[in-house]
Amino acid sequence: MLRRYCVYQGKGQAPARAENLTLCSHGVKLALDCNRVWVDGEEIDLTETEYKILRLLMQSPQRIFPVQVIYEDVWQEPYFYTSNGTVMVHIRNLRMKIEKKTRRTPPVCRPCGGKGTALCPGRRRIMRKKLGLSGKLVLMILFSALASAVFLVGMQVVLNKALWLYFDQPETQQKAVEKQVQELQNYIDRRGLSSRDIDKLDDWSVRNGSTMFIIYDRSRMLYSSYPLVAPVYEGRENVMEAVPAEHWLPMYSLTFSDKKTTAMFYYNGVDAYYGKGCEILLLVSFALFPLFFFLSSRKIIRYILLLSGEIQAMEGGDLDHPITIQGGR
């Protein structure tokens, strides 16, 4: 009707000036002769109700409009308290549409601490593409995974250095070898092995790959565990090349059911404990992942909780609840 009125005005009337048919405020231009709105020169689509609310606010940009005034002016109906939610939902939609196009912040339609709604001036900002909430959560997950991986690698280096320092002490190495000798002797006793059954030691040798030993009957070698653990020392032709003689501890006695023998032992405690230590560190790093994620995403979690509370307040028409969330965050 307004467009037809503008086109078919009476001949005797002077046409209205173009500047009197538009309202401009804070980068928003509103045409009074038709339901059209431009934000920073780009037209946006508004519903009739949103257009009427924006027109009311722009006609008196310095005024704070209570919800009752907005409702009675736009809807042309008596105000009831239950109408708060209806007004606030339309204002929220209007804000979202304007903020999607505008290069200004804070929002053009701003609640004023329980008194009502008004237009507020905005300052120009550089438009930068920001990550959404899901993008930020993905970044936090990647950061937490990276932090856990760095922790794991760092602790593996520390573990390796600590084990080498510990087993490099002669007393520590000797006690560790004596423990292996006792375990092997217990294995022989439980199974009642004789020197003729010596090949049955293969099972113990494989399960204790960090221990190498050679069993002698006087000067004749009865058994060597080196072929079973040789892949660990790839490229070495024989056991003495893999482990120099100075690393072997003195002869120990092993008793079989039919005779006593002597044995030389070499125990690699670093390899024995490093694998177990890495398994524990891997479990710890997995346990630290949610902790790193929580610490890095505290602001996002607070933002989600705040956003949820303010949406509930707007839908419930609570004008005393301050609105602090801005679009585009």
Q: Decide: pTM greater than 0.85.
A: no
Would you state the torsion angle of the CA atoms of residues 105, 107, 112, 116, taken in this order, to the nearest 10 degrees?
160
Rounded to the nearest angstrom, the gap between the alpha carbon of residue 218 and the centroid of all alpha carbons in its chain is 65
Amino acid, single-letter form, for residue 207: R
Cis geometry, peptide bond prior to residue 106 (ω within 30 degrees of 0): yes
* CA neighbours closer than 13 Å in the CB half-sphere of residue 87: 28
Q: What angle do CA 109, 113, 117 make, to 5 degrees?
A: 30
Radius of gyration of the chain (CA): 41
Residues 84-113 have pLDDT tens digits of 888 888 888 888 888 776 655 444 565 555
| 276-299 residues labelled b (16+ CB within 10 A) or e (exposed) | ebeeebeeebeeebeebbeebbee
State residue 151 phi and psi, 5-degree precision: -60, -45
Q: What angle do CA 166, 171, 177 make, to 5 degrees?
A: 90
Per-residue pLDDT 10s for the chain (329 aa) are 444 444 444 444 444 444 568 888 777 888 888 888 888 888 888 899 989 888 888 888 778 888 888 888 999 888 887 778 888 888 888 888 887 766 554 445 655 555 566 666 554 444 455 667 778 788 888 999 999 999 999 999 999 999 989 988 888 888 888 899 999 999 999 999 998 888 899 889 888 877 888 888 887 888 888 765 444 444 444 444 444 444 555 678 999 999 999 888 888 888 888 988 999 999 999 999 988 888 887 777 777 777 777 677 666 655 555 555 554 44
Q: Measure the CA–CA gap between 153 and 159, rounded to whole angstroms.
A: 10
Helix (H) or strand (E) holding 122: none
* CA neighbours closer than 13 Å in the CB half-sphere of residue 148: 22
Cα separations (Å) of 142 from 136, 177, 297?
10, 44, 12
Residue 147: name the closest of 275, 279, 277, 290 by CA.
Answer: 290
| 73-104 residues labelled b (16+ CB within 10 A) or e (exposed) | ebeeeebeeebbebbbebbbebbebbbebbeb
Residues 166-209 have pLDDT tens digits of 988 888 888 888 899 999 999 999 999 998 888 899 889 888 87
